Amino acid sequence: MVYQLMVQISESKGLNMKILKIAIIATMTLSLANASLVEEAAKLDVKKVCDVKANGLDKVLGVAKKYNPEAIKLGVEFKRLGIKNREYIKALEAAVKAKSKETVIKYKKKGKEKTKKFPTNYAAWRACTFAVRALQLHEEGKKTWRLAVPGDGFKY
């Protein structure tokens, strides 16, 4: 199917076949890289990776920044207390730059501007855990969804 698409595009637009093949290979490579990112997150131990005392604030923030964009792309980003994980990460970056011990998160709830304050270490742990667990639960759901289907032998 991919080859048919390549031939149709090259005939209709007069594109060079080599350039088209390279573009398709690059697209396929990126999609495989994203799939491997989800699989990589599924294998992580959240308690070890997101431990601020053991790993440091910057490393934990880096883990959150690495995995949260993929969670957003898949539509499984965590939202707790009305605050999306991307807002935790954004506020945490500002707190790290300011070397503050408290993270102030600004968000909207029911059209009103609100703020919440968290200790920086707690906000980092929370952002990291939310980013990794979102991907882990996404992968877990692919394997265990049949257990929740009626007629699976369980009594409800």
Q: Any idea which of 11-15, 38-42, 117-121, 129-133 has the lowest mean pLDDT?
A: 11-15
The alpha carbon of 65 is separated from its chain's Cα centroid by a whole number of angstroms, namely 8
Domain that holds residue 7: 1-29
Residue-level pLDDT at 39: 87
Total domains in the chain come to 2
In a domain, 20, yes or no: yes
Shared domain for 97 and 137, answered yes or no, is yes
127's CB contacts (< 8 A; 6+ apart) are 60, 61, 64, 68, 85, 88, 89, 92
> What's the pTM value of the predicted model, to 2 decimals?
0.71
Over residues 36-89, the pLDDT tens digits come to 788 888 888 899 999 999 999 999 999 999 999 999 999 999 999 889 999 999
Rounded CA-CA distance 55/121 in Å is 11
